């Protein structure tokens, strides 16, 4: 039914034999780079097998991608910076980066979508292509809210029609269910129980996009034929004070999104970046701890609303 078999791995698989992967017909692999464990003494969790997985994929010639487990309760820039650090310490991936979106952290769809949008924006502002989004169809629609900007991304969709152990994936004939409008799937994770001789239990993935899309994504990802982007100038943070009667604080730089907070005159914010969206300038700010929710968001950078501290 599909011709390109892939897999995705992490430290849970230990040190799989990449020669056997190639022998069994695996033609692409994604590996976990890490995740940000909020509340931990060392919150930046680097997957300890990522460097080996990247090197082994290159050695045997299997196109390689990196994914990051996204937490909606953690600041977007903290996670994005961590992701880029891990990726930057190794050979660049062949595919565009991928973000694993499968947990809510007890956050609402609006908060999840906005934080994810900020994560993606951080990557794009540093020269990376739009990331591939890993998720489930129902999770994207119900828990993330099916944001319109998702139509600009390729998707890697988890959907398991069968629960049995898959030992002969190329004889797998079960078809995936339909997808919601606007979800452009190029990878289908069809099982979490693929067991091939000489390899640990792994997820099984089919490439469902076209061969042209496969060639495009593996040759134009940062690790492909294009050189990696230069690092942007380091942004020097500063503080501003609310000058107007009040100002709306949002979790994404989108004017029509409902504000998360109404901040009164005199409140101070640390500015860690500046972006433009739909003709409006926004300060990327750290939310003062007094509000309890923590994290990062955006306030208007338009003249008259704030002043330097």
For every residue of 7-54, DSSP letters joined together read EEE-GGG-S--HHHHHHTTEEEEEEEEEEE-TTSSS-EEE-TTHHHHH
Confidence class of residue 272 from pLDDT cuts 50, 70 and 90? confident
Instruction: Tell whether the model's pLDDT for residue 232 goes beyond 90.
Output: no
Angle at the Cα of 85 from the Cα atoms of 154 and 295, rounded to 5 degrees: 80
Instruction: Identify whether the C-beta of residue 253 lies closer than 8 Å to the C-beta of residue 282.
Output: yes
DSSP-based three-state secondary structure for 190 = strand
Q: Which H helix or E strand runs over 294?
A: none
pTM of this prediction? 0.74
Instruction: Tell whether the model's pLDDT for residue 5 goes beyond 90.
Output: yes
Beta strand pairing status for 44-46 and 26-36?
antiparallel
CATH class entry, domain 5-220:
alpha beta
CATH topology assigned to domain 238-308: SH3 type barrels. (2.30.30)
CA 199 – CA 239 distance, rounded (Å): 53
Instruction: Tell whether the model's pLDDT for residue 221 goes beyond 70.
Output: no
Looking at residue 274, its pLDDT comes to: 79
Instruction: Tell whether the model's pLDDT for residue 229 goes beyond 90.
Output: no
Instruction: Mean pLDDT check: name the lowest of 87-91, 183-187, 195-199.
Output: 87-91
Range(s) within the chain of domains with CATH label 2.30.30.40: 238-308
Instruction: Identify whether the C-beta of residue 128 lies closer than 8 Å to the C-beta of residue 97.
Output: yes
Looking at residue 228, its pLDDT comes to: 44
Nearest of 151, 131, 144 to residue 33 by alpha carbon: 131
Range(s) within the chain of domains with CATH label 3.20.20.80: 5-220
Residue-wise pLDDT tens digits, 195-204: 999 999 999 9
Looking at residue 256, its pLDDT comes to: 57
The CA-atom distances, in angstroms, between 121 and each of 24, 56, 127, 170 are: 37, 30, 10, 38
* The token pair that represents 12 in the structure block: 């849970």
Looking at residue 257, its pLDDT comes to: 61
Looking at residue 292, its pLDDT comes to: 62
CA 170 – CA 200 distance, rounded (Å): 18
């Amino acid at each position: 039914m599909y011709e390109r078999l892939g897999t995705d791995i992490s430290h849970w698989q230990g040190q799989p034999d990449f020669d056997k992967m190639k022998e069994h017909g695996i033609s692409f692999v994604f590996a976990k780079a890490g995740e940000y464990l909020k509340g931990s003494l060392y919150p930046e969790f680097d997957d300890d097998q990522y460097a080996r997985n990247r090197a082994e994929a290159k050695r045997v010639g299997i196109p390689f991608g990196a994914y990051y487990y996204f937490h909606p309760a953690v600041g977007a820039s903290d996670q994005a910076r961590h992701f880029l650090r891990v990726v930057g310490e190794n050979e660049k991936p062949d595919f565009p980066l991928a973000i694993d979106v499968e947990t809510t952290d007890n956050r609402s769809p609006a908060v999840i979508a906005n934080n994810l949008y900020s994560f993606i924006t951080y990557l794009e502002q540093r020269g990376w292509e739009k990331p591939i989004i890993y998720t489930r169809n129902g999770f994207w629609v119900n828990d993330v809210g099916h944001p319109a900007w998702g139509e600009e991304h390729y998707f890697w969709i988890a959907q398991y029609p069968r629960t049995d152990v898959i030992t002969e994936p190329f004889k797998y004939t079960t078809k995936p269910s339909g997808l919601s409008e606007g979800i452009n799937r190029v990878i289908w994770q069809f099982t979490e129980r693929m067991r091939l001789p000489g390899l640990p239990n792994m997820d099984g993935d089919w490439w469902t996009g076209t061969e042209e899309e496969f060639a495009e994504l593996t040759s134009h990802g940062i690790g492909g034929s294009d050189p990696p982007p230069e690092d942007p100038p380091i942004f020097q943070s500063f503080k501003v004070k609310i000058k107007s009667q009040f100002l709306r604080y949002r979790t994404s730089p989108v004017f029509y999104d409902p504000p998360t907070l109404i901040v009164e005159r005199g409140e101070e914010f640390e500015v860690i970046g500046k972006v433009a969206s739909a003709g409006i300038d926004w300060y990327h700010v750290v939310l003062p701890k007094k509000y309890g929710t923590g994290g990062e968001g955006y306030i208007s950078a338009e003249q008259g609303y704030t002043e330097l501290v």
